[in-house]
Structure formats: C-alpha cells, structure tokens
Amino acid sequence: MSTRNLINQLGGYRAVAARLGKSPTTVHTHMQVGILPAAWYDALCVMAVEAEVCEPNRGLFSFLAVAGENDAKDAAA
C-alpha cells in the first residue's frame, strides 16, 4: 500500500487533514512525497479501523531507525 492509497481509503487528503487538525496542503504534500510523519501513525491506525481498511504499514512513516552496534561505536568515537 502506498501513502496515496492509504489516504484515499481514509476519505482523501482533505478528510484526513480535518481529522488530524492539519491543513490539506500539509497532508497532500506528505502524501506526494510518500512518507508520512511518524506522529500521525496512531491516528491513521484508528482511522483505518473506523474505515474498515488494513492498518498502515509502519514503512510508510518516518520512524527513526535503530543504529547497528557498529554504527553506534563509530558515532561514539
């Protein structure tokens, strides 16, 4: 599922923006880029359940990745 598919299944970017308290432009821009803010994950999961669609994959969101052990050692040096 893409960000566009998710937003469309939830009623479109204007409807999602209204539910999130964001401007339609903000939601549309994130949808176009293809990565949604991690802060929206829980809200969009709730909206997906309400709309009876699959909950979004976490890969659609900008969650921080955990550095590997070697990366952490290199950063500390």
> What is the crossing angle of helices 41-51 and 13-20, to 10°?
120
Give yes or no for a contact between 17 and 31, defined as CB atoms under 8 angstroms apart: no
Can you give the pTM of this predicted structure?
A: 0.83
What tens digit of pLDDT does each residue of 36-68 get?
Answer: 999 999 999 999 999 999 999 999 999 998 888
